[in-house]
């Protein structure tokens, strides 16, 4: 399990194109500016004015920095963490100087600050923001490893494994060819399960995996299991967290199809909607409650991994309605890992 110990390394600048990262930056910077305003204001009633002065200067610098960091992220990643920080500091200094000179035109501040003071404030705020993201990445890294272990535990019910082996055993004498195919599928399935599942993987792999899984379930359930795939407009090159579709399909079989004597239909829609990838799954469900019983562990695990990978840009919604369980996942459509 050496890989788990290594998760603390590889800290790098966050992806500033991510809405979550942008929001966090905005909050951190503005909280610091507000604190500075409180300290600088001579009376309580002037705090708001001081904050406006800081914001008038700070907000343009922040937004310009975020835009540049977003555009130049690949280049910054390429030169390494320390180099990127140094470049960032130089860039902030330049931007500060430009804005400082520009603000000299207006004489709205009663207690003008020197360039040194302003530069210190900018460096301080930038450093705290970067340190926050650094700490956050370190704090979440063990969580990524943890999520991976959870993924292994929650994925593939032992129920499925033993029943599948049992089904293959029944085929060996009568249909050796089918037994061979089934064992190959099982091997592929476990190859993915045992792999390092921390990085994003192509959607087409995920779909293949789900199909292999379903082929095995069909062996056991025969005509009780019917699957409708709607993937005509699916972008196969989209990157998704591994094992995001298969657990949902497994839930659908276990809670939706198996308890019904005559079986049922699982509908899987995967499509691209603008900058988003939408995965949609429906299965019959007659049990009680708003959530499919006993599947919370799997959906919680998926939700957690979506958050780790995409922060607030991914969502997962599930409901039980009209005798069907319906789950929708939306994640940003991306095709390269560096983005």
Give yes or no for residue 43 binding another protein (CB under 8 A): no
Q: Number of C-alpha atoms within 13 angstroms, CB side, residue 131?
A: 7
DSSP assigned state of 256: I
- Return the number of the residue (159 or 191) whose C-beta is nearest another protein: 159
Cβ–Cβ < 8 Å for 9, 34: no
Q: How far is the CB of 173 from another protein (least distance, A)?
A: 6
Residues 141-200 close enough to bind another protein by CB under 8 A: 157-159, 161-163, 165-167, 169-171, 173-174
| Cβ 12 to another protein shortest distance, Å | 42
Shortest Å distance, C-beta 222 to another protein: 6
**Is the Cβ of residue 163 or residue 205 nearer to another protein in the bound state?**
163
Q: Are 164 and 186 in contact, with CB atoms under 8 Å apart?
A: yes
Within positions 289 to 318, which residues make up the interface with another protein, using CB under 8 A?
none
Q: Find the helix or strand (DSSP H, E) in which 187 lies.
A: helix 176-194
Neighbours of 71 (CB within 10 A): 12
In the bound state with another protein, the residue whose beta carbon lies nearer, of 254 and 333, is 254
The site string for another protein over 235-264 (x = CB under 8 A, - otherwise) reads: -----------------------xxxx---
Distance separating alpha carbons of residues 55 and 49, to the nearest angstrom: 10
Buried b (16+ CB within 10 A) or exposed e, 284-304: bbeeeeebbeebeebbebbbb
CB of 272 to another protein, least distance (A): 37
Residues at the site binding another protein, with contacts judged by CB under 8 A = 157-159, 161-163, 165-167, 169-171, 173-174, 219-222, 258-261
């Amino acid at each position: 399990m050496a890989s788990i110990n290594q998760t603390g390394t590889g800290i790098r600048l966050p992806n500033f194109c991510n809405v979550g990262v942008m929001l966090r930056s905005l909050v951190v910077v503005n909280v610091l500016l507000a604190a500075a305003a409180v300290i600088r204001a001579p009376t309580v009633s002037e705090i708001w004015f001081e904050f406006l002065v800081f914001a008038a200067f700070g907000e343009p610098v922040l937004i310009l920095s975020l835009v540049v960091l977003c555009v130049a992220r690949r280049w910054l990643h390429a030169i390494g963490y320390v180099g990127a920080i140094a470049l960032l500091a130089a860039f902030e200094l330049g931007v500060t100087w430009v804005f400082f000179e520009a603000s000299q035109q207006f004489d709205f501040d009663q207690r003008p600050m020197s360039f040194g003071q302003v530069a210190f404030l900018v460096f301080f705020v930038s450093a705290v923001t970067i340190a926050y993201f650094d700490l956050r990445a370190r704090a979440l890294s063990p969580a990524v490893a943890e999520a991976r272990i959870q993924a292994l535990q929650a994925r593939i019910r032992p129920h499925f494994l033993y029943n599948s082996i049992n089904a293959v055993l029944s085929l060996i004498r009568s249909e050796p060819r089918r037994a061979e195919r089934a064992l190959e599928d099982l091997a592929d399935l476990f190859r993915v399960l045992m792999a390092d599942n921390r990085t994003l993987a192509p959607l087409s792999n995920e779909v293949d995996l789900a199909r292999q899984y379903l082929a095995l379930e069909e062996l056991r359930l025969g005509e009780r299991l019917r699957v409708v795939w709607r993937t005509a407009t699916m972008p196969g090159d989209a990157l998704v967290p591994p094992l995001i579709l298969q657990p949902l399909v497994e839930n659908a079989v276990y809670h939706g199809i198996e308890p019904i004597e005559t079986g049922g239909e699982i509908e899987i829609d995967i499509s691209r909607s603008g900058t988003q990838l939408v995965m949609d799954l429906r299965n019959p469900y007659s049990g009680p409650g708003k959530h499919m019983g006993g599947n919370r562990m799997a959906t919680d695990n998926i939700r957690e991994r979506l958050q780790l990978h995409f922060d607030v840009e991914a969502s997962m919604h599930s409901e039980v309605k009209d005798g069907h369980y319906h789950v929708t996942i939306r994640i940003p459509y991306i095709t390269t890992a560096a983005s």
